[in-house]
Structure 1
């Protein structure tokens, strides 16, 4: 596994900070522009942005008179922000072309950008799944396995407690998605057709919203209404609370850089071990299981090489302590790896457990580092 150069890691850090600053500083979407309009010898500011219907039309909104100093200050600040957008685009391009870091496909990038602009991550939504996995190369400063990055969907998660408590909500999610692709439609949930957790485009691209289910699998069937998600419900899933606890900030290498929240990489890796052994074998479950386990293996090896062994072991210990179903799932996935890969992972995890002051035997390891 090859690390990217220090100069590119520094560039990524700069991009992350500037993207976050821009998200907080901008009251207006970066795809628009302020235009002066003179009416009866007095100049006013308006804001134009693409209509979103695929045409060349512009949606125009009134801002205020140009002789209002506070309004004009905001216009000038926006000019600086637009210049920063160009600079950030150059950084993104450099990281992709020269550091060979992955970027999402255009559809995924545009969807994440649209939901970010709408406020999803401000409302503590978390990008999960393979699109999130693509962000870890830049976060960790290594080139991860490309074959584990192919996907035809984008998944987002939010705790129901957060969705109910924030007192704010996205614009209608379907409208946000249709600003990217006008063919997006709601998919009525099979257990309650009044609610939708999934949205799909004519080309088959799927967007799904998820939320943790901390009960039994029997309670995961029905959709959960989510007050903050602009009319979308979410599919409850077990183990998801572990994944999205204390997410981390990152930047998706798309456009000028999209500030996002993703699971901590150690939680993502251990979660993939768990779900990789629990996929149903019908449909494409087997293929998804293989990809889950490949992502887990690749990410764990990267963290071990980067000397984040204790972080990985800490997440492992938390999951192991959750109960027999968690332990069985982890052990099953570890057994699926080749002997050399499995032994190396188990030895490193055992060493990490020991470094944290715990007994490896309490977490399924023998003295030689293998699972008992």
Structure 2
């Protein structure tokens, strides 16, 4: 697995900072433009925003002779220039730097949710779209075969969702702004609550939360206060995955600041969920992808000298009890011989670095 040149990693760090700065200036998005209008002999500023249907929505701003508003107009031009520069950075990082860009649908969906406040409200992007971010985060080129997806998975802890006392706009409306064919998917329990949305092309957006009780609750959707009226599927071990997430960039358009699981947690969690997949055709396909992604991350973490990070996270998962240990053993047993040996090596090395004893899953 090849490392990404330091020059491109530095460019990604610059894109990170500029995109996070831009995320705070949402009053007048870069997709719109200030337009002057003369009314009864006086000049006023309006702001035109595309409505997604070929027209525009016009928002009143204020009189043109207001110095504060004049500065806003000047700043907006500067921000649009910065937007173009960030788009060029994204293109360079993906076309020349070997970093991963998501497919257009995934990027547009995550962008819409991010702009609406998903990550401000402490949502976490998980699944393969999150995995795509690890190329830049770790500075490692990842093979395309491991990152193809037809869905987006979003997680939020139930307790956090209650604590933030804020909410996204209605999720179905946000998704239909991206693609009008998005519709709620009937829940397998027969509940009227929906935890997933799907468009006419089969692209699926699913919302998950940590399981707060026994496994008896797993088949029942949980209403999540901050998710714009949507519910989420409780998932065992999800609390482990989304603990202490990290900020990074999804390389789409001008860059989208996102929050994803720590890559070490993602790798260990993939061993756990692989052991719990159904044995039908779809379940086996997902299991193979779980094992492939875990193996790639073990390799990347070893190359980037993050063995201590993995060892610490692995120990946390192991100490959760027998159910977690059995799942890790089963998942590790599915690894190809080379990946299994790599996991063994990184755990032994990591244990030495943190001066702890690690019980191996083999």
With the shorter chain as reference, the TM-score category is over 0.9
SS in 1 for 2:335: coil
SS in 2 for 1:188: coil
Worse-matched range after superposition: 163-172 or 109-118: 163-172
**CA displacement at 1:97 relative to structure 2:** 1.0
Equivalent position of 1:40 in the other structure: 40
Kept in 2, the 8 Å contact 1:153–1:207? The answer is yes
Equivalent position of 1:68 in the other structure: 66
Structure 2: distance between partners of 1:133 and 1:340: 21
**CA displacement at 1:283 relative to structure 2:** 4.4
Equivalent position of 1:248 in the other structure: 246
Structure 2: distance between partners of 1:193 and 1:117: 30
Structure 1: distance between partners of 2:104 and 2:57: 23
Equivalent position of 1:309 in the other structure: 307
Equivalent position of 1:368 in the other structure: none
Kept in 1, the 8 Å contact 2:195–2:208? The answer is yes
Structure 2: distance between partners of 1:229 and 1:300: 33
TM-score, normalization by structure 1: 0.94
SS in 2 for 1:189: coil
**CA displacement at 1:214 relative to structure 2:** 4.1
Kept in 2, the 8 Å contact 1:26–1:78? The answer is no
Kept in 2, the 8 Å contact 1:192–1:222? The answer is no
Kept in 2, the 8 Å contact 1:273–1:334? The answer is yes
**CA displacement at 1:192 relative to structure 2:** 4.9
Paired residues for 1:250-329 under 5 Å = 250-329=248-327
1:219-247 per-residue CA deviation (whole Å, 9 max, x = no partner) reads 21111111111111111101110111111
Kept in 2, the 8 Å contact 1:188–1:194? The answer is yes
SS in 1 for 2:194: strand
SS in 2 for 1:204: coil
Structure 1: distance between partners of 2:244 and 2:27: 27
Structure 2: distance between partners of 1:288 and 1:151: 11
SS in 2 for 1:25: coil
Structure 2: distance between partners of 1:250 and 1:153: 20
Equivalent position of 1:26 in the other structure: 26
SS in 2 for 1:82: helix
Structure 1: distance between partners of 2:79 and 2:29: 10
Structure 2: distance between partners of 1:323 and 1:214: 17
CA separation of 1:192/1:35 partners in 2, compared to 1, >3 Å: closer, same or farther? farther
SS in 1 for 2:248: strand
Structure 1's consecutive aligned runs of 4 or more residues displaced over 3 angstroms after TM superposition are none
Paired residues for 1:1-372 under 5 Å = 1-52=1-52, 55-360=53-358, 363-364=359-360, 371=362
1:87-116 per-residue CA deviation (whole Å, 9 max, x = no partner) reads 000000001111121111000000011111
Runs of 5+ in structure 2 lacking a partner? none
Structure 2: distance between partners of 1:331 and 1:135: 27
SS in 1 for 2:288: helix
1:303-341 per-residue CA deviation (whole Å, 9 max, x = no partner) reads 111100000111100001111111111111212223233
**CA displacement at 1:72 relative to structure 2:** 2.4
SS in 2 for 1:59: strand
SS in 1 for 2:208: strand
Kept in 2, the 8 Å contact 1:134–1:149? The answer is yes
Kept in 1, the 8 Å contact 2:221–2:234? The answer is yes
1:49-79 per-residue CA deviation (whole Å, 9 max, x = no partner) reads 1112xx3211111122222222222222221
SS in 2 for 1:24: coil
CA RMSD of aligned residues (A): 1.3
Structure 2: distance between partners of 1:164 and 1:50: 33
Structure 1: distance between partners of 2:76 and 2:47: 11
Kept in 2, the 8 Å contact 1:144–1:299? The answer is no
SS in 1 for 2:186: strand
SS in 1 for 2:23: helix
